[in-house]
Amino acid sequence: MKNKIMRKYAMSEEGAKGFVLAVIACVLSDIALMLPVSLLYFMTGDMLENRIDSGRIAFYITGIAVSLVLIYITQFRQYNATFFSTYKESGIRRITLAESLRKLPLSFFGKRDLSDLTTTILNDCTVIEHTFSHQAAQYYGSIISTVIIAVSLFFFNWRMALAAVWVLPVSLLAVLLSKKAQNFFNRRKNNIRIRSEEGLQEAIETLRDLKSNNAEQKYIDGLDDIIKEYEKKSIAAELGVAAFVVPAQMFLKIGIATTALAGSALLINGELNIISFFMFLLLVSRLYEPMNGTLINLGALNAAQVNIDRTNAMNDTPKQYGKTDFSPESYDIVFDHVGFEYTNGETVLKDVSFTAKQGEVTALIGPSGGGKTTVSRLAARFWDAGKGKITFGGEDISGIDPETLLKYYSIVFQDVTLFNNTIMENIRVGKQNASDEEVLTAARLANCDEFIKRLPNGYNTVIGENGSELSGGERQRISIARAFLKDAPVILLDEATASLDAENETLIQSSLSRLIQNKTVIIIAHRMRTVAGADKIVVINDGRSDEQGSPEELIRRDGIYSSMIKRQTESTEWSIA
């Protein structure tokens, strides 16, 4: 049962145990609330039979006091069991999702929008948290306590019990059968909500481009339409729940009528006494109360299933694992007939084979879309190859834990990510325990020192969200400074100098020549002057390693590399007529 609960509701083992205890607490609380009804039944009988004396009065006063104490204790335990355990489990759930994200291949993030992931971690977890603190345990507790009370009624009078409880399974079944319809409405609402969140995030991120192209109003109008559609879908989802829950709640009221009619008939025929008749009328008024809440809770539980499924989907995504005790003796990276395709079936690499040797610069060039960036990502195990093998230091990287592997890599992406912090701390990302002097040295190597000194607070200048206060070239140089600071044995540069002018590119290349000694360097570039000094060039064309060798060797072959140099030389001679 524990495993079923964990799977059904995206819970941890500890959360499943806490949920069971919460259900038990709710059952005891509901039963405790029936104690005053029992006392009232016996007291009414004593009054009608004129059996009230000092001893009876003391009994009922004691009974009332005991009932209040038991109700307080059970309610207190219910509150603790449902709310405290739920909030604890909510923390575990968020941490578990965060840990899952650490182990997911980067291909997962390429397929999912960031606002969608944020929705799962924040909104979905919040919905599940609210459902299990306010509805889930109460729902199951009410079902169990109602069954216990209903069964006990059959020991008094089975005909009256039947007249009272027959509406319960019918109402519950009506809401249970509505689950498919409710999920349909909730999925539609959830999908449009994600679209609206994506649109809002995109509008903020691209506002400058929208304004510069006079496209702001058109985009906002489209976003307004999405938000209005979200409003409609939200209303439809609420109506979808109410369409089943409200009639089911109204149907429960029929049980009071059937109880009164059956009781009246039995009373007239002398088959039921007035005390028992009164007891059943009193009980059904209390019996349906938890069930009213149960039907609402069931609707909420059905609605939360969409959020639970999304959370389970993230947890179920295959993770990347491997050994953590990895210490390579060399830093050669070898691609051996490697192929790769995305999950949608798009083939990116067909057959790539080359060796990036330690102490050498290996440049990957080729037409756009040929697979160069994919090769560099596979080398760092951002993704796993579909066929062939990639080794690092002689070991297959698919058997090495990604975080362990990345300790040996310094990576500079074409798209730089910076944080709303000081320049000093942005560079220190490359090595968390680096001293200020180490940061300064890395910055000088990356040719950052000159522009940083011009800033108001130098290295302590806060550069805004994603480095908005800096130019593209300045942002790129800070990213390169991180690589210098990390000083890892493998360096991956993906168009690292694309945002730099010729002068700064020359300076960076000069710095890189000092950095790469005895290291494995893989560079992706489109400008031929960037890779002119490489030890080895690998031409990636249409998913294959068509050519490889030194620049001089490839020029003599007069192949793709030679053709690319000629075309770039011709482009430099172009001028405005």
Let me know if residue 390 belongs to a domain. Answer: yes
Q: What is the DSSP letter of 335?
A: E
What local confidence, expressed as pLDDT, does residue 574 receive? 53
Does residue 332 have a pLDDT over 70?
A: yes
Model confidence at 136, in pLDDT bands (50, 70, 90)? confident
Does residue 441 have a pLDDT over 80?
A: yes
| Shared-domain flag, residues 232 and 305 | yes
Full residue range of the structural domain in which residue 539 is found:
333-572
What local confidence, expressed as pLDDT, does residue 483 receive? 87
Express each pLDDT in 498-540 by its tens digit: 656 667 667 666 666 766 777 899 988 777 767 777 889 998 8
Q: Calculate what percentage of the chain has a pLDDT beyond 90.
A: 10
Please identify, among 316, 349, 374, the residue that sits at the C-terminal boundary of a domain: 316
Comparing 55 with 299, which gets the higher pLDDT? 55
Comparing 32 with 569, which gets the higher pLDDT? 32
CATH of the domain at 167: 1.20.1560.10
Q: Are 483 and 510 in contact (CB under 8 A)?
A: no
Q: Are strands 333-341 and 387-392 parallel, antiparallel or unpaired?
A: antiparallel
Model confidence at 576, in pLDDT bands (50, 70, 90)? low
Average pLDDT over residues 179-208: 78
Please identify, among 264, 288, 316, the residue that sits at the C-terminal boundary of a domain: 316
Average pLDDT over residues 373-392: 89
| Shared-domain flag, residues 268 and 352 | no
Residue 339: beta bridge partners? 387
Does residue 571 have a pLDDT over 60?
A: no
Please identify, among 316, 350, 366, the residue that sits at the C-terminal boundary of a domain: 316
Express each pLDDT in 89-129 by its tens digit: 888 888 888 788 778 777 677 666 666 777 777 778 888 88
CATH of the domain at 516: 3.40.50.300
Q: Are 186 and 309 in contact (CB under 8 A)?
A: no
What local confidence, expressed as pLDDT, does residue 428 receive? 92
Model confidence at 319, in pLDDT bands (50, 70, 90)? confident
| Shared-domain flag, residues 396 and 534 | yes
CA distance 325 to 322: 9
Nearest to 498 by CA among 413, 558, 431, 420: 413
Nearest to 494 by CA among 389, 387, 417, 398: 417
Q: Which of 214-223, 384-393, 484-493, 528-537 has the lowest mean pLDDT?
A: 528-537
Let me know if residue 322 belongs to a domain. Answer: no
What local confidence, expressed as pLDDT, does residue 218 receive? 84
CA distance 276 to 394: 85
Average pLDDT over residues 308-312: 81
Alpha helices in 435-501 (DSSP H): 436-445, 449-452, 472-486
Model confidence at 390, in pLDDT bands (50, 70, 90)? very high
What local confidence, expressed as pLDDT, does residue 333 receive? 94
What local confidence, expressed as pLDDT, does residue 100 receive? 80
| Shared-domain flag, residues 266 and 377 | no
Let me know if residue 466 belongs to a domain. Answer: yes
Does residue 547 have a pLDDT over 90?
A: no
Let me know if residue 174 belongs to a domain. Answer: yes
What local confidence, expressed as pLDDT, does residue 111 receive? 62
User: What does pLDDT average to over the chain?
Assistant: 82
Nearest to 374 by CA among 108, 112, 107, 111: 107
Let me know if residue 324 belongs to a domain. Answer: no
Comparing 245 with 431, which gets the higher pLDDT? 431
Q: Which of 44-53, 112-121, 401-410 has the lowest mean pLDDT?
A: 112-121
Residue for token pair 């050519």? 547
Does residue 344 have a pLDDT over 70?
A: no
Give the total residue count for the chain.
577
Nearest to 117 by CA among 276, 406, 331, 315: 315
Q: Are 520 and 357 in contact (CB under 8 A)?
A: yes
| Shared-domain flag, residues 500 and 437 | yes
CA distance 428 to 434: 6
Helix (H, G, I), strand (E, B) or coil at 462: strand
Model confidence at 424, in pLDDT bands (50, 70, 90)? very high
Residue for token pair 């495993």? 3
| Shared-domain flag, residues 267 and 350 | no
Model confidence at 570, in pLDDT bands (50, 70, 90)? low
| Shared-domain flag, residues 233 and 169 | yes
Let me know if residue 255 belongs to a domain. Answer: yes
What local confidence, expressed as pLDDT, does residue 135 receive? 78
- Give the Å distances, CA to CA, from 426 to 106, 273, 416, 442, 460: 22, 83, 11, 12, 10
| Shared-domain flag, residues 404 and 266 | no
| Shared-domain flag, residues 341 and 266 | no
Average pLDDT over residues 391-408: 91
What local confidence, expressed as pLDDT, does residue 73 receive? 92
Model confidence at 14, in pLDDT bands (50, 70, 90)? confident
**Looking at this protein, which amino acid is placed at residue 524?**
I
Residue 400: beta bridge partners? 323
Nearest to 310 by CA among 222, 194, 217, 393: 194
Four-CA torsion 487, 488, 494, 498, nearest 10 degrees: 10
Domain total in the chain: 2
Does residue 334 have a pLDDT over 80?
A: yes
Average pLDDT over residues 384-392: 91
| Shared-domain flag, residues 110 and 206 | yes
Does residue 51 have a pLDDT over 90?
A: no
Model confidence at 558, in pLDDT bands (50, 70, 90)? confident
CA distance 562 to 556: 8
Express each pLDDT in 153-165 by its tens digit: 888 888 888 888 8
What local confidence, expressed as pLDDT, does residue 335 receive? 94
| Shared-domain flag, residues 312 and 371 | no
| Shared-domain flag, residues 168 and 131 | yes
Q: What is the DSSP letter of 348?
A: E
Q: Quote the distance between the C-alpha of residue 507 and its chain's center.
A: 42
**Residue 498 neighbours by CB distance under 10 Å:** 17
Average pLDDT over residues 403-407: 90
Let me know if residue 370 belongs to a domain. Answer: yes
Helix (H, G, I), strand (E, B) or coil at 82: helix
What local confidence, expressed as pLDDT, does residue 450 receive? 83
CA distance 445 to 452: 13
Does residue 283 have a pLDDT over 90?
A: no
Let me know if residue 323 belongs to a domain. Answer: no
CB under 8 Å to 452, separation ≥6 — which residues?
423, 443, 458, 459, 461
